[in-house]
Amino acid sequence: MGLERRVFWVVLFSLAMAAVEAAVVVYLRELYCPTGFRFPVMDLLAEGPARRIGLVELLREAATLVMLAAVSVLAGRTRWQRWALFLISFGLWDLLYYAWLKVFLCWPASLGTWDLLFLLPVPWVGPVLAPCLVALALVGAGWACLRWEEKDLGAFVRPLDWALEGVAGLTIILAFTTHARACLVCREGEMAFPWTVFSTGLGLGVAVFLGALRRALRS
């Protein structure tokens, strides 16, 4: 099977996986937020009847990452193809997840609407626009890696680049987890998203990647 067909199946998997993810959220909100999702959010890991659901939700989130990684490994033929396909599948899954929620629940109302993004290892929260920007950057980086794989991009990615990308990722995570505790007691309007921290992390990550790509294209 050629690369284009393998990419098609990865994209289709991401579309279906996003639908499954959104469906689970529909069920959870019907059970725990029948009047609509809002902050403060329920602490699913606190003692009480919902604790078991919270633990299952943690397992489901971890399993989702494993599934996205597994399909990327199976579809890729080289290390860079696998990495690129994972970036694409992860980014598309995130974007399509919100698209499905819009279809199922007519939510979010806008890109400024806050959401509970992730639970591992602590709650990640922020406006929907923030994870969508990260997802777009991941998809773009994945497509670029596939497009210029014949340039042996890996030869132009220096150890410093990997280190800086790690710092960029951690900075973005810091922005998402700033209100890990506050989201359990505060309303949406009472939390200010650290856009400066987030933009610094995202900008650094994009700049480092483009620098490596430029070196590859000039060779």
How many distinct structural domains can be found in the chain? 1
pLDDT in tens, 204-215: 999 999 998 888
> What pLDDT does 1 receive?
76
Tens-place pLDDT, residues 106-157: 999 999 999 999 998 899 999 999 999 999 999 999 999 888 876 666 667 8
Domain membership of residue 175 as a residue range: 3-218
Model-level pTM?
0.93
Measure the CA–CA gap between 47 and 74, rounded to whole angstroms. 40
- For the residues 80-100, what does the mean pLDDT come to? 96
- On whether the CB atoms of residues 40 and 179 are closer than 8 A, the answer is no
Which amino acid, 138? L
CB atoms within 10 A of CB 128: 19
